[in-house]
Structure 1
Amino acid sequence: MKIKRLVVSSFQTNCYVLYDNFRAVIIDPGDQAKKIKNFINENELDVLAILLTHGHCDHIGAIDALYQAFNCPIYLHHEDHVYLKEPKYNLSTMMGNPLIIQAPVLDCEETMQIGPFKVRWHHLPGHTPGSSMIELIDQKLIFSGDVLFNGSIGRFDFPLSSHHDTVLSMKKLKEFNDDARVFPGHGEETSIKNEQQHNPYLK
């Protein structure tokens, strides 16, 4: 399996394309749909699904255009569906360009088989009520969205964010037994073990 990171949006969001034998999933297409489509088309990939770690505008901004292009299912934790229709919650109002998603978005399930990709959703609220890390189980790869960064974590002072839930989610992360490579929503790759040892929020 190959991983392509595309940095999109003014927030420098990491959009990931995972692909294996020309079948692909897209994680967090936050903006610049044309850039994402170009990579898909240049590599002749069949997009099986779009997976969203949470509902902020810099992670969902391109899904309408990509849905029109690829007509694939889109999955998000049910507690973040409110962000799809509420610009004040998804933070797009703050950017002066209110975003309301028109594409149909489905509830994720805890474990899902999407073509060759065996996916587990780790629900870790705080940054948003539905914030999740998306794990590729067989490859020990985690796409952490804004739950966990290299040396930091996502903010919890936005609308519907929760400091209390963030603290509980960090306790869960401290107890993760399996090491895995971590690809965050912003910034550089890390690992579960590295964050458990060095991230001040996991101490």
Structure 2
Amino acid sequence: MKLFRVSEEQMKNQCYLIYDQQSGILVDPAWDYELINNFLLDHQIELKGILLTHSHRDHINLAPVFAAAYDVPVYMSAIEIEQYNFSCSNLVAVRHLEELVIGNFHINPVITPGHTAGSTCYQIGAHCFTGDTIFIEGVGTCKAEDAGALFDSVQFFKRYFPKKMLIWPGHSFGYTPGRDLDFLMTNNLYFQIDDKTLFADFRMRKNRPSAHAFH
């Protein structure tokens, strides 16, 4: 697994390449085509597909470019596509817990609404790519009316995945990515709140210094 730290003005993203036996899949490619493409070329990795966690620009920025350059499918949840009218060449709709097989990779899409209606985490083996749903330090932004859905997604995440699952979010706000779920259970405040109203009130509290303040 290769992590790319890329940026555009104030936006700083973490994009990922999962590869094995010269075949690879990109997760949320954005901002720096040359950096990502040069890694593919230098390591002779054949791109097989692109996974998109949600439709925000900083996560889909280069998906159409790579899709056209490599003629590969782009995967996004059917809910996200419909709710936000997302379009892209070679677009394939995915659904909750319906396994994808791309080359040698078996991928489990887990729909986790809250940040957006169709936000999706992708499990590949012992790794989970969470986009903006779950960070090591907290959870993604949401509208007040969606905080309950985000709570439900976190609760499902806690129940569904093994404690040693490694978490790879779309952004970092202090901790390095790649911590396991057990670490989040101890260090991520949102994983410790079991009441939906309390979760929603805390996520939407007015006195936080920014939308990404988690403590």
Q: What TM-score, normalized to structure 2? A: 0.79
Shift of 1:177: 4.9
Say how many residue pairs are matched: 182
Partner of 2:3: 5
| Aligned residue in 1 for 2:84 | 83
Could you list the per-position Cα deviations for residues 114-141 of structure 1 after superposition, in whole angstroms to 9, with x for gaps in the alignment? 111111011110001111110013xx11
Per-residue Cα deviation, 1:178-200 (whole angstroms, up to 9, x for no partner): 12011111122221111122210
Q: Secondary structure at the match of 1:119?
A: strand
TM (norm. structure 1) is: 0.83
SS at match of 1:182: strand
- Residues 12 and 149 (structure 1 numbering): CA distance in 2 closer, same or farther, change over 3 Å? same
Q: Say which of 128, 131, 145 aligns to 1:142.
A: 128
Name the aligned partner's letter for residue 68 of structure 1: A
Determine the structure 2 residue equivalent to 1:172: 156
Contact 1:25/1:50 (<8 A) preserved: yes
Instruction: Check conservation: 2:71, 2:90, Cα contact below 8 A.
Output: no
Tell me, yes or no, if the aligned pair for 1:27 and 1:53 is still in contact at 8 Å: yes
Give the match's secondary structure for 2:100: strand
Residues in 1 aligned to 2:25 and 2:88: alpha-carbon distance in whole angstroms: 20
2:94 alignment partner in structure 1? 108
Question: What stretches of structure 1 of length at least 5 have no aligned partner?
Answer: 86-100
CA RMSD of aligned residues (A): 1.7
Q: Which runs of 4+ in 1 moved over 3 A?
A: 82-85
Q: Which residue of 2 aligns with 1:65?
A: 65
Report the equivalent of 1:96.
Answer: none
Q: Which residue of 2 aligns with 1:88?
A: none
Unaligned runs of 5+ in 2: 193-215
Residue in structure 2 matched with residue 129 of structure 1 by the alignment: 117
The Cα shift of 1:84 comes to: 5.5
Tell me which of 181, 199, 210 is aligned to 1:192. Answer: 181
1:24 equivalent in alignment to 2:9: no
Task: Select between 36-45 and 173-182 the one with higher mean Cα deviation.
Answer: 173-182
Q: Which has the larger radius of gyration?
A: 2
SS in 1 for 2:53: coil
SS at match of 2:150: helix
Please say if residues 56 and 83 of structure 1, whose CA atoms lie closer than 8 Å, have aligned partners that are also in contact.
no
1:150–1:120 Cα change, 3 Å: same
Q: Aligned-pair distance for 1:175?
A: 2.0
8 A Cα contact 1:131 1:147, kept in partner:
yes
- Structure 1 residue 102: deviation in Å? 4.1
